Amino acid sequence: MSRIACATIIVSLLWAAVAAADEVPATGERERIVVVLSGGGARGAAHVGVLRLLDELCVPVDAVVGTSMGAVVGGLYAAGLEPDALEAVIRGIDWNDAFVDNPRRSQLTYRRKRDDDGFLVPFEVGVRDGSLRLPAGLVQAQKLALYLRENAIAVSTVDDFDDLPTPYRAVAADLYTGETVVMGTGDVVTAMQASMSAPGVFAPIERESRLLVDGGLAMNLPVEAARETFGKTRIIAVDVGFPLLPPEQLGSAVSIADQALSILITRETQRQREQLDSGDVYIKPELGLLASTAFDRTLEAIEIGYDTAQSQREALQALAASPAVCQARRDTRAARVAGPPKIPEFVRVETDADVSPRVIETRLGTQPGAPLSIEQLRDDLGRIYGLGLFERVGYQWVESDDGAGIVIDAQAKSWGPGYLRFGLGVEEDFEGSGNIVISARYLRTAINRLGAEWRNDATFGTRFAFESEFYQPLDFNLRYFVAPQLTLEQRNIDVFEGDDRIGRYRLSTGELGLFAGREISNWGEVRLGIFRGSVNARVKIGAPTLENIDVDTGGYRASFGFDTLDDTVLPTTGTRFETRLDFERAGLGAARNYEQLIGSWANFNTWGRYTLLLGADFTTTDDADDLVQAFTELGGFLNLSGLDTGAISGPHCFVGRAVLQRRLGESGGGVFDLPWYLGASLEAGNVWPTRDDVSANDLIMNGSIYARLDTLIGPMFLGTGFGENGETTVYLFLGAAITNTLR
């Protein structure tokens, strides 16, 4: 063979080899490893343990596809968080708080704090366009979205999920069509949120003309989505799906419905498993019956995920890369993380609400040109959300022609701007003096650009009351306001001669008032105004000497309120103080001149399981000792507990109380846990017919012991009271009937 022929053959072979090499996909592409993470609520924390082992074994993760909680863990991993950082995030989240939309009470305006008086259940029915509407979910996931945003802020400007440190896809279901939606573009946090929006629990997410809900309804273990998106891959599928309940746990409609849904999800998951090849790895963490709501056990779930993945160690090691390649991939991931934003060049508000954006802007401490503080921004959004006008308040770091900055998006409630709330209270003394109290409120918000409101409250039971107030702020800061007000009330009032009850009046009052005031930060309010009204007292039972009363009222009123309590239902710290001073004047229509001062004070402190309440209520009048409308009643739970409700009354009143309450048992950490407590009180008080009769020597000593359970409709108390002369009472309270008792 000639040299030319040999050279020709060699060149031909080399050319064929090159051509063949061009026809074969690159090794990295052909052997691309995609991690598929299923949904499962709190069980999804096990994904973090699996990712931790993959990192230890140097298994390269080329992409991650997740559904529901798998989309959350996978999204944060794709955003650049390594397994240790993911675990720190899981450990750092207060999950009970994350699933409660309400901001911290310190972030509420004083007016919003008062909204819960008598309405301890936060659920509201919307009134919009003349029809009743319900929120799209029990939870709007306001706080959870902020948690996700804070931990993914380093990639907030990434629009294509292939450009994330690790390519990513989130799976959701289209509520309109039932189709599976695989999200690979847009805002990564919105994609995570949509994928985990369990219908009925979380509000759906509107995205690209689709209404998206939890992807578990369509593809809880998205193997098929991974194949279709990333082509020929090696898949590591992690299934933390819901287990089927044993027969003994199928005793309720809720458990049966849950089981039916689990069956459907399990069938679809099995179909996805059948698409796995022999070279793929399937991991099912041994979570047993760990509930999807058991977020208090997330750290346990992480370790179970890690330990279970160890059983597949040999198969995983077959997919591992060399330490050098592993480190190179980590470096590449780190390089693709833009890092947290530093100094915003602008802070812009976007809202579809009927109030001016300036109302929102006045609550922003985050300012352009200053270093961005996530803590400050979180507090800003809490105060904006605390206005009660918005379904969601979020933010994004954006880059535009104006530079880089923060866009705050405040979405108006889709079920407003009118809202109905209802309250229920039950009082029972087991001696025939029970009372059922029904409360209702209609609140119309955002009447104008300054955020005017019209509030109407009605209470039905032994006491009837109706109050209507038009509240008009005078500035965008919502500091100054005017408030015309109508109040109607009917109640029984007993009259005593010494210690003897001599009669009972049915007292009817009506009053018109015009007030102006100022809110003081978020903790207080002062009001000044004038009022005019009438009082009618009709004798229901009593001595012949009692006469019906018809008098006019009118005068000046000054009031002040102060509230720093950390919670409405179960305060553990803070103070609440309210006082009102009425100057009745004949020149403004009153039957005669007199003054009345009313006040209430409560202070809470907590040490470990113990909470101590110190409080007092008082009323005093000048020159009106014989006016029944000026009388205050004592008797009842924590108001001299040994006496029957309303057992004594008079124009001058004082009661002080010390209440010690202990939390019992350990919280399960679940969303529906009902905490319970034991408590005891010591009380001292009395009423006096005249100012000259007021004396500390006449104080009546009473006390009580009680058990408290915090239910979904408010606190329930079962207690017994005792007096200094051997009097005993038994009380049962539920809900709104006792809203003022422990404040």
Q: Where are the alpha helices (DSSP H) in 93-138?
A: 95-98, 110-114
**Is the predicted pLDDT of residue 21 greater than 70, yes or no?**
no
Quote the CA–CA distance of 32 and 226 in Å, as a whole number. Answer: 11
Q: Which residues contact 376 (CB under 8 A, 6 or more apart)?
A: 365, 366
Rounded mean pLDDT of 45-59?
Answer: 94
- Quickly list DSSP for 581-627: EEEE-GGGT-SS-EEEEEEEEEEEEEETTEEEEEEEEEEEEES-TT-
Q: Tokens 């209440």 belong to which residue?
A: 659
The answer to whether residues 176 and 187 touch, using CB atoms and an 8 Å cutoff, is: no
- 103-107, 257-261, 376-380, 666-670: least confidently modelled range: 666-670
- Quickly list DSSP for 674-728: --EEEEEEEEEEEEESSGGG--GGGPEEEEEEEEEEEETTEEEEEEEEEETTS-E
More confident residue, 231 or 306: 306
pLDDT tens figures, 257-314: 777 777 888 888 889 999 998 889 999 999 988 888 888 889 999 999 999 999 999 9
Structure tokens, 720: 């017994």
Rounded mean pLDDT of 322-340?
Answer: 82
Rounded mean pLDDT of 437-446?
Answer: 92
Residue 709 CB coordination number (10 Å): 13
More confident residue, 667 or 23: 667
Instruction: Find, among 683, 73, 154, 664, the residue nearest to 396 by Cα.
Output: 154
The answer to whether residues 695 and 679 touch, using CB atoms and an 8 Å cutoff, is: no
Residue 605 CB coordination number (10 Å): 14
- 235-239, 351-355, 399-403, 634-638: least confidently modelled range: 399-403
pLDDT tens figures, 92-111: 888 777 888 888 899 999 99
More confident residue, 669 or 359: 359
Quote the CA–CA distance of 71 and 523 in Å, as a whole number. Answer: 40
Structure tokens, 53: 């082992």
Quote the CA–CA distance of 536 and 276 in Å, as a whole number. Answer: 82
Rounded mean pLDDT of 489-512?
Answer: 81
What pLDDT does residue 182 have? 96
Q: Strand 347-351 relative to strand 676-688: parallel, antiparallel, unpaired?
A: unpaired
Instruction: Find, among 445, 478, 353, the residue nearest to 408 by Cα.
Output: 353
Instruction: Find, among 582, 585, 562, 586, the residue nearest to 574 by Cα.
Output: 562
Task: Read off the pLDDT band of 8 (50, 70, 90).
Answer: very low
Exposure string for 112-123, b = 16+ CB within 10 A, e = fewer = bbbbbbbbbbee
Quote the CA–CA distance of 677 and 379 in Å, as a whole number. Answer: 31
What pLDDT does residue 673 have? 54
Instruction: Find, among 576, 577, 574, the residue nearest to 559 by Cα.
Output: 577
What pLDDT does residue 498 have? 63
What pLDDT does residue 736 have? 54
Rounded mean pLDDT of 649-659?
Answer: 92
> What single letter denotes the amino acid at residue 227?
R
Rounded mean pLDDT of 234-242?
Answer: 92
**Is the predicted pLDDT of residue 25 greater than 70, yes or no?**
no
Quote the CA–CA distance of 686 and 501 in Å, as a whole number. Answer: 15
What pLDDT does residue 432 have? 62
Distances (CA, A) of 429 to 89, 432, 645, 656, 689: 49, 7, 9, 22, 27
What pLDDT does residue 278 have? 87
**Is the predicted pLDDT of residue 199 greater than 50, yes or no?**
yes
Q: Which long-range contacts (CB under 8 A, 24 or more apart) does 16-25 make?
A: 25/232
Q: Tokens 């001073």 belong to which residue?
A: 581
Rounded mean pLDDT of 566-586?
Answer: 92
Q: Strand 33-37 relative to strand 63-67: parallel, antiparallel, unpaired?
A: parallel
pTM for the structure as a whole:
0.83
**Is the predicted pLDDT of residue 390 greater than 90, yes or no?**
yes
More confident residue, 559 or 325: 559
Look at residue 284 and give its three-state secondary structure.
Answer: coil
The DSSP output letter for 161 is G
The answer to whether residues 642 and 728 touch, using CB atoms and an 8 Å cutoff, is: yes
More confident residue, 417 or 675: 417
> What single letter denotes the amino acid at residue 388?
G
Q: Which residues contact 633 (CB under 8 A, 6 or more apart)?
A: 493, 494, 645, 646, 647, 648, 649
**Is the predicted pLDDT of residue 1 greater than 80, yes or no?**
no
Residue 595 CB coordination number (10 Å): 17
What pLDDT does residue 544 have? 66
What pLDDT does residue 666 have? 55
- Quickly list DSSP for 395-455: EEEEEETTEEEEEEEEEEPTT-SEEEEEEEEEEE-SSS--EEEEEEEEEE---STT--EEE
Dihedral of CA atoms 635, 640, 644, 649 in degrees, nearest 10, equals -30
What pLDDT does residue 305 have? 94
**Is the predicted pLDDT of residue 517 greater than 70, yes or no?**
yes
Exposure string for 718-739, b = 16+ CB within 10 A, e = fewer = ebebbbeeebebebbbbbbbbb
Task: Read off the pLDDT band of 499 (50, 70, 90).
Answer: low
What pLDDT does residue 170 have? 97
Quote the CA–CA distance of 374 and 81 in Å, as a whole number. Answer: 17
More confident residue, 529 or 550: 529
What pLDDT does residue 11 have? 33
Task: Read off the pLDDT band of 701 (50, 70, 90).
Answer: very high
Task: Read off the pLDDT band of 433 (50, 70, 90).
Answer: low
339 Rama sector, left if φ>0, alpha if ψ -120 to 50, beta otherwise: left
**Is the predicted pLDDT of residue 22 greater than 50, yes or no?**
no
The DSSP output letter for 274 is T
Question: For residue 704, with 0-12 CB atoms within 10 Å meaning exposed, 13-18 middle and 19 or more buried, which class applies?
Answer: buried
306 Rama sector, left if φ>0, alpha if ψ -120 to 50, beta otherwise: alpha
pLDDT tens figures, 587-632: 898 888 889 999 999 999 999 999 999 999 999 988 776 677 778 8
Q: Which long-range contacts (CB under 8 A, 24 or more apart) does 544-548 make?
A: 545/502, 546/495, 546/502, 546/503, 546/505
Rounded mean pLDDT of 654-676?
Answer: 73
Distances (CA, A) of 180 to 65, 91, 177: 13, 31, 9
Residue 717, phi then psi, degrees to nearest 5: -115, 135
Q: Strand 453-460 relative to strand 281-283: parallel, antiparallel, unpaired?
A: unpaired
Rounded mean pLDDT of 657-678?
Answer: 72
**Is the predicted pLDDT of residue 494 greater than 80, yes or no?**
no
Look at residue 3 and give its three-state secondary structure.
Answer: helix
Chain-wide mean pLDDT for the chain?
86
Task: Read off the pLDDT band of 27 (50, 70, 90).
Answer: very low
Give the up-direction half-sphere exposure of residue 9: CA atoms within 13 A in the CB hemisphere: 6
